[in-house]
């Protein structure tokens, strides 16, 4: 009986180990776009995302492929939105919905100058290093 239990535990550990390797966290790069234009000024650790309050177009988060001279957009991925208030630093959820795209002006209408739009991915396989957009 102990041998059967040991084998079952060993088998369960192998299955769990294989499942955890199937989807490595943060294995794909992604970035925010408005109307197919990358928001971040440079896709590097020093990159900043800024948008004037008057910006219009569709806000998306897409996978990206880094090339020597440019960044190539890929598939849209699901994301949520929160707003960080400039005055208090409070973070509140814009909506409970998961978006693939939405008019950025809908989000900006709820923001003040200096607030930050925070984008949250739902799937841990997507790294989104430039996830805060400063409202100008």
Q: What distance in Å separates the CA atoms of residue 136 and residue 116, rounded to the nearest whole number?
A: 9
Q: What is the pLDDT of residues 40-77, one digit of tens each?
A: 998 888 999 999 999 999 999 999 987 777 778 889 99
Overall pTM > 0.85:
no
9 has a pLDDT exceeding 70: no
Residues β-bridged to residue 58: 103
Q: Which residues contact 5 (CB under 8 A, 6 or more apart)?
A: none
Q: Where are the domains of the chain?
A: 26-135
Residues β-bridged to residue 21: none
Alpha helices of 23-121 — where are they, by DSSP H?
Answer: 104-108
């Amino acid at each position: 009986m102990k041998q059967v239990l040991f084998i079952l535990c060993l088998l369960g550990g192998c299955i769990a180990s294989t499942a955890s390797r199937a989807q490595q966290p943060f294995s794909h790069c992604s970035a925010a776009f408005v109307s197919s234009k990358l928001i971040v000024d440079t896709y590097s650790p020093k990159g900043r995302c800024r948008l004037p309050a008057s910006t219009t177009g569709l806000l998306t988060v897409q996978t990206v492929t880094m090339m020597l001279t440019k960044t190539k957009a890929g598939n849209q991925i699901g994301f949520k939105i929160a707003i960080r208030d400039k005055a208090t630093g409070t973070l509140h959820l814009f909506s409970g919905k998961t978006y693939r795209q939405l008019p950025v002006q809908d989000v900006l209408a709820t923001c003040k100058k200096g607030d930050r739009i925070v984008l949250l991915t739902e799937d841990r396989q997507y790294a989104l290093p430039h996830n805060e957009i400063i409202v100008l």
